[in-house]
Amino acid sequence: MLTLLRLLEDGRFHSGQAIGDALCISRNAVWKQVQRLESELGIALNRVRGRGYQLASPLVLLNDAVLRDKGLSDIWPFHIYESLDSTSVEATRLVAKGVEPPFLVLSERQTSGRGRRGRIWQSPFGVNVYSSLVLRVQKGARQLEGLSLVVGLAVMRALRASGLNEAGLKWPNDILVGGKKIAGILLELTGDPADVCHVVVGVGVNVNMANAEGIEQPWTSMKLELQRMVDRNEFICVLNRQLHGYLSRHAELGFAAFQEEWESNHLWQGCEVMLASGTQRIEGMVLGIDRVGALRLSVSGVEQRFSGGEISLRLRDDRRA
């Protein structure tokens, strides 16, 4: 199916005969492959008698040669998949097989993509960026302090470099544009955090997605904001150059070096919010973050600090938790 998609990627009509000749299959087999594209991958096609098949919407597939030519392999090794349950799960499998970090896992789609708090991350074929970067951490848990917030800065900078100047941060792991989520981050740890461990940095970015069902919060995409298709290969390289730079500085300097930069880009700085942790609900005003990335809230005039992966933050007038 991927070979067929690459033929159709140019956006033109291709006759069943021409496709069959290119793939060395019969026209009946071409029809079956088209059926699979639509049913299994959700790819919509135009069919016109006498002209053939055409993608109903433009598609920019991940391309190993293009990514190498744009310098991704100079940053770290990478692996591209047509379909995965989850890039983070595959990254963990590769570590178990002995693949040496750092390395990057990319996929055209995820069948079981995950966000924070066990939520499903919508992962349709060929439209967004689904990536997981594996790093080895050798100096204990201190190297992990504020790591997800630093990754957020890198994602935000990549989005701004691509034309989304309004991209900003929401504690702890979201990137928003116009109050809508455009990207999220999920960190997972394996090994001994007191010694040598591996951290899987999962990043999902809505790139060319124009519609989706079942998303529980306002969302947007690069395509919707920029009003044009975005080359995912180009954006992946921009993103990983930012990640490499920020992660290198974080390993050397620690999170405290990024505290001021992060706060200056936090969209909810000074806002009245509601924090939810399990059954607990706390209202307060965002003061900022501390030197390890914990959220500082003024609660009834008293500063309190919060951290942890199961915390949800909402503006006070938005009661969803």
In the annotated binding site for biotin, the residues are 110, 114-116, 181
- Token pair for 76: 């770290």
Q: β-strands 168-170, 129-137: how paired?
A: unpaired
- Token pair for 60: 């920019």
Distance from C-alpha of 251 to C-alpha of 25, rounded to nearest angstrom? 52
Report the number of secondary-structure helices (H) and strands (E) in the chain.
10, 14
Distance from C-alpha of 146 to C-alpha of 256, rounded to nearest angstrom? 8
Which residue from 211, 213, 235, 219 is spatially nearest to 60, judged by alpha carbons? Answer: 235
- Burial code of 75-103, b = ≥16 C-beta within 10 A, e = fewer? bbebbeeeebebbbbbbbebbeeeeebbb
Catalytic residues: 116, 181, 314
SS3 108: coil
Q: β-strands 197-205, 272-277: how paired?
A: unpaired
Distance from C-alpha of 75 to C-alpha of 250, rounded to nearest angstrom? 16
Q: Note whether 78 and 65 are within 8 A (CB).
A: no
